Amino acid sequence: MTATVGRETRRWIGESVRRREDLPLVQGKGRYAADLEVPGMVHMAVLRSPHGHARIRGIDASRARALPGVFDVISAADLAGIGEFPVLWRLPGLKPSGIPVLARDKVRYVGEPVAAVVAESRYVAEDALDLIEVDYEPLPAVADVEAAIAPGAPVINDAWGDNIAIKHVVSGVNAKGEAGDVEGAFAAAHTVVTGRFKINRFSGVPLETRGLLAIHDPLSGDLTLWSSSQVAHKLRTQLSEVLNFPEASIRIRTPNLGGGFGVKWDAYPEDALVCILAQRLGRPVKYIEDRREHLQATVHAREQLHELEMAVAEDGTVLGIRGRIYCDLGAHPHSVGIGPAWVTGVSLTGQYAIKNLSCDVYAIATNKVPSSTFRGFGGPEATFAIERLMDKAALALAMDPAEIRRRNYIQPDEFPWFSAGGGVFDSGNYPGLLEKALAAVGYDALRDEQARLREQGVHRGIGIGAYIHTAGFGPSMVLGLLSYYTSGYEGSTIKVDPGGNVTIYTGMIPMGQGTETTLAQVAADQFGVDIDKVKVVWGDTSQTPYTGFGSAGSRSNVAAAAIIKAGEVVKAKAERIAANLLEASPDDVVYADGAVTVKGSPDKRVELREIAEQAYLAHRLPEGDQPTLEGTYVYDPALFTIASGCHIAVVDVDVETGELKIVKYVVVDDAGTIINPLLVEGQIQGGLAQGFGGAQLEEFVYDEDGQLLTQSFMDYLLPSIHEMPDVEIHHQVTPSPHTPGGFKGMGEAGTFPPGPALANAVSDALRPLGVEVDAMPITSNAVWALLQR
C-alpha cells in the first residue's frame, strides 16, 4: 500500500528498515564517552555530600592537593565569575533558584557536588577525594512532602522562607478562554469518588551513565565538549552563560549515547566543571559518572501525591475533577522547573470529554536530588490518577469499566478538542482504541472466565489504562506563553552533493532509538532516492542546525517535518534547474521518483544526479538561482501532536503472597503516521519496560534524614527480560492533520499505562476483598499488606 509524501511515492516511510547504526555498535565499535581518549587527558572525580542537609563550615583540600598525581582541586571558593545553570521553565510564582556548579554554604541532598579533583587517573582522583576535609554541620532534614510542609519544618532554601517552590493553579480554562464550572459539577453530582494516589520516585537509569570530555585549545581559544547530552545546542547556550565564555567558541560534540530517557536532557554541574578545569589546567579533562553517583545525583522523577475527587452523574458521565497534586521536587527545581507536575495537572482529564477541572499543583522541596525530566514527563502520573478514578467511578455505579469509558470519550468527530487543562488535541479515535483492545484481549470471554475462576478461588483481574500523550513538543510561541525559556523548532539543512547524494543535517541526538535510520527514511522518500544515498549528520554543534529541544518530548516527528519542508525547498530549486536544462517552464515540470520530468512527456527527464552536477558547475543556471544545491528549513510546530493509546492488563493475584502474574497484556498504540514499524515497536517495548519497572520494581528510597538507601542495583531493582511480560501490540493510525507527513511523536508512549492498568487489574482481581491499589510500586509486599487490612 503506498501513500505519498507530498508528491512522492512512499517507498521507505512505513517500512521496517533495519537500523544502519547497529552493525558497528553490536560489533563493539561504538564510541561512547568512556571510549574517548585524547593525548594529555586527565581525569576528574567529584566530592559529593554525604548528608541530606548540612551547612558547610569550611573545606580544606591541602592534603588532597599534595597527593602525587593530583593536578587541581576546586571548591565553590574557586568559582569566581561562574554562574549557576538556570531553571529554564520559570512558571510565574516559582521561587527563584538555579543549579549551582558546586555547593557553597550548604548541601541540600546526598550526592550534591561539593568539590572536584583532577588527577592523572581516576584512581588517584578518588584517593584525593578521601583527603578533602569538609567541616559539615548536619542540619535536620525533610524527606517527604508532608514533613516539608509541616509547621516548623527546616527550610532547605534559606531565601524561600518555606519549602513550597510554587503553588500553581490549574484553573480549567480552555484554550478558547472558556471556563468550566467545577462547583456546579460537584453540586449536581450523583456520586463523588475520591482518590489518594502515591506515585513512586524512579527515573530513567540508562545503561550508560553521564560522560564528558572537555578540551580547551589554547591556540584558537575554542572549547570543545564531548557530552552525552540529549540536547547539544541548548547546553552550549547555557554553558556560555554559566562560564561567561563566548558561545561561538564552544563546540559540543556527541558520542554514541547508551540511552538518555530524559535524564540526559538537563544541564548538570559536571558539564561546567570539566570545562572550568580544562581551562585552568590547559589539558583535556574527562569525567565518567559511576553508577552510585548516577543513582544519587542524576535527576530522579515522578514522585507525586494526589488528593483528587471526581464528580459523576448517574449515567456515568464524568462532570468534573478537582483536587491537589503535591510534587516532591527534591532540593530545588532543576532544568525543567516543575514541568512534569504542570503536565500532570493539565492532563488529568485524559481521553475524556471532561469540561470542569480545577487543580492546585504544589511543588515541595525536600532533601533529595532534584526531580526533573524523565520519559513521560508528568503524563504517566496523570494517567494513573484519571484511570484509577474512572475505575472507582465504575465501581461506585456498578458499571463495567469499559462501559464508563465509552460514555466519556472525546469522540472522533469532536477534534480539534479544547481540553479543560488548556491543551488543543489535534486528532484521535479513543473509542476505536478501546474496542480494538477489548477485542484483542477477548474481554467478554475474560469476564465470564473471571467469574468462574473466582468460584475456584483464583483471583483474576482485568485493568484498562488509556492515555493521551502530548508529543511533538512544541510550538515555540506556546512555550513562551508557558514561561518555558527554550524553543520547540527543529531545523533541517539538506545538501545534495555533485554526485546526487543527499546529506541531512539534524539537531536531533540519537540515544538508541534509531533516529539516524528514521530520518534517512523520510529523506529517501522525500527525494525518491535509495536510502543508501542518504547520509545523516548529527552530534556536532558546529555543523548541525540549532535546536532548543533536541531529543526529548517525542519529537522525531518535528525533525521529520523539518526534513520534508527543507526537501521542498531543494526540490523546487531542482525543478527550476531541470526546467532550464529541458528548456521548459518551471510550471511544466515535476520532481518525482528522484528525477524531474516534463508533465506529460516522461521521456523528457533529468535525474537528480545530473541536476546536482549542473548546480555545482553553474554553467547553465536559471536566472535568479545561486550555484550549489542545498536548502534549510526551520520548522516550528503549529500545535502539539496528541498521540494516544489503550492498554489492557490481565493479572492473577496470589492472596497468600500478594504476588502478581501478568497473564495477558495488550497494547493499542496510535502515533499517527508510522515511519518505521520495527523501531516503533522497539520504542513501545522499551517504554513498557520502564513503565513496568516503575509500576512494580523501581523506587528510590530515602530515610528521614535524606540518606539515599538505594544506591546500587541491589536495592534499586530494574526489570530484566525475566520480569517483562509478553505483550501484544496493535496499531491504530489517526494522522496529525497539521504536521507535514502526519507523524505524531510516540517515544514516550509505553511508559504511561502499565502502572494504572496493573493497579486497575489488581483492584479488579481483589474487588470481593475490598482492596484498592492506589500506590506504586505494586510489589507483592504492598499487595499483601493491603490484603491484611
Partner 1 sequence: MRVKGTYRYDAAPEQVYDLLLDPTALQACIPGCEQLEATGVDQYRAILKVGVSAIRGTFEGDVTISDREPGRSYRMHVTAKGGPGSVSGSATIRLTADGDQTVVDVDGDAKIAGPAAGVAQRLFGGIASSMMNQFFGCLRTRLPSASTAEGR
Span of 87-95, 258-266, 493-501, 712-720 interacting with partner 1 by CB under 8 A: 712-720
Cell numbers for 349, please give them: 482529564
Could you say which residues in the range 123-182 bind partner 1, by CB under 8 A?
A: 130, 138
The CA-atom distances, in angstroms, between 208 and each of 35, 260, 320, 425 are 12, 8, 44, 35
Nearest residue (CB) to partner 1, 49 versus 580: 49
Q: Which of residues 385-414 bind partner 1 (CB under 8 A)?
A: none
Least Å from the CB of residue 163 to partner 1: 21
Least distance between partner 1 and beta carbon 712 (Å):
5
* Residue selected from 10, 19, 43, 51 as contacting partner 1 according to rule CB under 8 A: 51
CB nearer partner 1, residue 27 or residue 712: 712
Question: Any residues with CB less than 8 A from the CB of 212 and at least 6 apart, and which?
Answer: 33, 225, 226, 227, 228, 270, 271, 274, 285, 286, 287, 288
- Closest to partner 1 by CB, 549 vs 700, is 700
Question: What whole-number distance in Å separates Cα of residue 38 and Cα of residue 16?
Answer: 38
Shortest distance in whole angstroms from residue 126 CB to partner 1: 11
Instruction: Please tell me whether residue 506 binds partner 1 under the rule CB under 8 A.
Output: no
Q: Is the Cβ of residue 52 or residue 284 nearer to partner 1 in the bound state?
A: 52
* Minimum CB distance to partner 1 smaller for 125 or for 522: 125
Phi/psi at 258 (5° precision): -90, 60
CA-to-CA distance for 268 and 270, rounded, in angstroms?
Answer: 5
**Total binding residues toward partner 1, as defined by CB under 8 A:** 18
Contact between residue 761 and residue 650 where contact means Cβ atoms under 8 Å apart: yes
Q: Under the criterion CB under 8 A, does residue 785 sit at the interface with partner 1?
A: no
Of 359, 358, 397, nearest in space to 184 by CA = 358
708 binds partner 1 (CB under 8 A): yes
Q: Quick check: bond before 777 cis, omega within 30?
A: yes
Residue with cell 552493525: 23
26 is a site residue for partner 1 (CB under 8 A): no
104, 122, 292, 731: residue in contact with partner 1 (rule CB under 8 A) = 292
Site map (CB under 8 A) of partner 1, residues 621-660, x = contact: ----------------------------------------
Contact letters (x/-) for partner 1, 296-325, by CB under 8 A? x-----------------------------
State the nearest-atom distance from the C-beta of 201 to partner 1, in Å.
15
Does residue 366 touch partner 1 according to CB under 8 A? no
Sign of the alpha-carbon torsion through 437, 439, 441, 444? positive
Interface with partner 1 (CB under 8 A), residue from 152, 712, 788, 789 = 712
| End-to-end C-alpha distance for the chain, whole angstroms | 57
Q: Is 530 exposed, middle or buried (0-12, 13-18, 19+ CB in 10 A)?
A: exposed
E strand segments, 248-356: 250-253, 285-288, 304-312, 318-330
Q: Shortest Cβ distance from residue 469 to partner 1 (Å)?
A: 34
What lies within 8 Å, CB to CB, of 312 at 6+ separation is 189, 190, 191, 192, 193, 318, 319, 393, 396, 397
* Minimal distance, residue 214 CB to partner 1, in Å: 27
Distance (Å) of CA 699 to CA 346, 534, 709, 714 = 25, 43, 10, 12
Backbone phi, then psi, for 740, in 5-degree steps?
A: -55, 130
Interface with partner 1 (CB under 8 A), residue from 26, 80, 714, 721: 714
Kindly indicate which of the ranges 179-187, 215-223, 348-356, 708-716 contains the residues binding partner 1, using the contact rule CB under 8 A. Answer: 708-716
CB of 107 to partner 1, least distance (A): 11
**Looking only at residues 685 through 704 of this chain, which bind partner 1 when binding is defined by CB under 8 A?**
703
Residue number with CB closer to partner 1 (47 or 668): 47
Min. distance of Cβ 291 from partner 1 in angstroms?
A: 11
DSSP per position, 43-68: EEEEEE-SSSSEEEEEEE-HHHHHST
* Phi, psi values for residue 15, rounded to 5°: -95, 145
Spatial distance between the Cα atoms of 42 and 38, rounded to a whole number of angstroms: 9
Query: In this chain, which of 470, 641, 710, 779 binds partner 1, going by CB under 8 A?
Result: 710
Nearest approach, Cβ of residue 714 and partner 1 (Å): 7
- What's the CA gap between 336 and 368, in Å, rounded? 16
Residues 92-121 that bind partner 1 (CB under 8 A): 110
Considering only residues 705, 724, 731, 767, which one is a binding residue for partner 1 as defined by CB under 8 A?
705
Q: Which grid cell is 237?
A: 547556550
Q: Does 63 bind partner 1 (CB under 8 A)?
A: no
Q: Which stretch binds partner 1 (CB under 8 A): 397-405, 539-547, 630-638, 705-713?
A: 705-713
Compute the distance between CA of residue 130 and CA of residue 48 in angstroms, rounded to an integer: 11
The neighbour count for residue 483, using CB atoms within 10 Å, is 14
Q: Which residues bind partner 1 (CB under 8 A)?
A: 50-51, 110, 130, 138, 292, 295-296, 703, 705, 707-712, 714-715
